[in-house]
Every structure is written in C-alpha cells, then in structure tokens.
Amino acid sequence: MLKFPAWFNRAYKRWSRSQPGEEDFLAFCDLLGYSPSKVLAWLQGESVPEGPEVLSIAGVIGIDVYSVLGLSKPDPDLFKIFDQFSHLHGEDRSRLALAILDAERYLQEYDISASSLAAEEILKNVFEKYGLDK
C-alpha cells in the first residue's frame, strides 16, 4: 500500500489546517484513538492501519480510506452509528471501532440487516461487551 502514506499525510495536513487554534499531532492521535507511535508509523509508511483502525480513520478523515487501502467499505448503517459517536476520543473511540466491527461480523455471519430490530439488540449486547453502555 504505497499510496496510503501519501494519502494519509495529505489528509492529516487538511485536517490540521481545518482546526481552529493550534491543533497538533497529539490531538490528532487522540481523536483517532491510537498512540502517536502507531499514527507516525502510518504517516511514514512503516505500517498500514487494519480493522478498527481503518474505521477510526474513516470517521475522522473520510470513508475513502477504504478505497485507498483496497478494502471493502463497512455497512453504511453501522458507519452511521460510528459517525454518531464522533465526539469520542482516545480509548473510547478505539473501543467503539472494535465494537462496530465485531457487530458487523456477527450481522454478516447470520445475514442480519444492520437496520433491523434484531440488529439493535445485537448492537446493545456488543456495546455492553466493550464497556460502551454507560
């Protein structure tokens, strides 16, 4: 994924310019919910994000990160749920991304629509599992 670091650097610079005041790299890392060393590794092309990391980036920078990485996009209904919690930062944001991906795997495995009533109960249970029910 040679194009990811270039895309991510451009996206980070756009984000940084769009922030009021002097938002810095640490604020960006906290917003994504991952350590500065991990985010720096992505920026420098030493590694690429996976799973919940990609979802967290999509929530901050945009869903096109999936195309850049050659991945299929998450269920639109589940992405909307993740987006509704965009105010979360740090570890809470990371846990939310894990919970959404866990729920998505379950819904796909049992062929349940993310917008169904059954999905609501599944999401409730998954959120509880990840300590997001408070």
Average pLDDT of every residue of the chain: 91
Same domain as 80, residue 60: no
Same domain as 55, residue 14: yes
- pTM of the model as a whole: 0.87
Residue 70 DSSP SS3: coil
Same domain as 90, residue 120: yes
Same domain as 87, residue 57: no
Q: Is residue 122 part of a domain?
A: yes
Domains in the chain, number: 2
Q: What is the CATH number of the domain that holds 30?
A: 1.10.260
Q: Longest Cα pair distance anywhere in the chain, in angstroms?
A: 47
Contacts of 3-7 with CB under 8 Å at 24 or more apart are 3/68, 4/42, 4/45, 4/48, 4/68, 4/69, 5/42, 5/43, 5/44, 5/45, 7/65, 7/68
pLDDT, one tens digit per residue, over 78-112 is 999 998 988 888 889 889 999 999 999 999 999 99
Question: Which residue type does 14 have?
Answer: R
| Residue ending a domain, choose from 68, 89, 119 | 68
